[in-house]
Structure 1
């Protein structure tokens, strides 16, 4: 991955027209392969203000993220997520405020502070989950996605090939086959990629969620999958802190749904991680698959 510390000319002109002068440009996420986004951090000459320019991976991601910033982020307390300052549809570009801090996955915090970071993250996610209007059309669209989940799994397994064994395939199929028939689940406007890489934490003790390109209406518990597959796996205190901030614990049907969604996420992680050369995502998929097989995922 090659990072470029300058913006493409057309995007540079657009950004300067929106926010004025900046003299430092740092690309913080470069395109690894087709279908991934690019992100730059811009800094004013006096170092007082930073901005983020994000070029979405495609038109769908651009529309999804702009919708999230316009309709969901306003429900979050100030500083709990970036704000959308401008957008440029011709280039799928968004201009955002930069929230303070660093991704939680990059930090080594004292246990008490880490639990507080997860508690505040849970409180913010609860606010995101209440955003937007769940219309009958959107509820029907959620069910349609659940109905198609088994077909999606089959496509992922086809790409995985022999990286997923026959016993593992049978388990994934059995779990994902339940998704269309689980019964009523609380539906929310989910972040879609809630995990430590997208959770910012500052020295002032402020949490913020970033990267809303997968935000959508979906079962609320789906936002817990990547947390359960990652930091919660060996740190139940972090799970407890997060859910305390969130304000409720998943019920029995949601807990079972979490396993079913984790099965689909594991297959997706194995495919996406391999395609993007992201060893961390591949490892998450393998770990989730192992925990599901051993009956330990919860």
Structure 2
């Protein structure tokens, strides 16, 4: 096997048990500390192996791949080939295409955003059953608890008046009672 990157041992064993011997492994992680993604090549072709940073993110992502992705149309999203709750890992098919680059023309960007909007509409249409209520309640708690960090990250874009308004509005969330639950997407 030609390796530019090694998969952690338990992950490697699980991936080979699902796909067969690997010919190549390449790091395809995003530029984030918690991103763990590899492109693997073997008898099944190119696949992606992704490890979720937390169990809740693994649960969300596997549910989306199982319930929403089949409604997006062939070739519009990766397909879940296998998953391991113990490893928080997913094996996904590759999808043709290239990410948009900063220098793309306005027309190309509009076309891509229109296509993305259509896929997002299909996603929301597919997710007909409500999300878990405890997870929805945690979103409010996490928003309140993480407000200072979010405001610090956005400080270059907010005036003092806007920051104060956000603090006042977010402080009222806990008093609103149960909010209606809805689906959200993380890495759209």
Out of 149, 153, 156, the position equivalent to 1:156 is 149
Determine if contact 1:75/1:128 at 8 Å carries over to the other structure: yes
Coordinate RMSD, CA, aligned:
3.5
* Aligned match of 2:75: 79
Indicate the residue corresponding to 1:169 in structure 2: 163
Secondary structure of 2:183 counterpart: strand
Q: Would you tell me which structure has more helix in proportion to its own residues?
A: 1
**Cα deviation 1:12-35 (Å, max 9, x = unaligned):** 2221221223312110117854xx
- Give TM-score scaled by structure 2 length: 0.75
1:58 to 38, 54, 57: 54
Taking the aligned partners of 2:67 and 2:104, their CA distance within structure 1 comes to 33
Once the two structures are TM-superposed, the CA of residue 84 in structure 1 deviates from its matched residue by 0.6
Name the CA shift for 1:149/1:166 in 2 (closer, same or farther; >3 Å).
Answer: farther
Who is 1:132 aligned against?
A: 127
Q: Partner of 2:109 in structure 1?
A: 114
The reply on whether 1:8 has 2:43 as its aligned counterpart is no
Alignment of 1:112-261 (within 5 A): 112-135=107-130, 138=132, 142=136, 144=137, 147-148=140-141, 151-154=144-147, 156=149, 160=152, 167-177=161-171, 188-194=182-188
Q: What's the CA shift for 1:141?
A: 5.7
In structure 1, stretches of 5+ residues that fail to align are 195-298
How far apart are 1:171 and its partner, in Å?
2.7
TM-score with structure 1 setting the length = 0.50
Higher RCO (Cα < 8 Å, 6 or more apart): 1
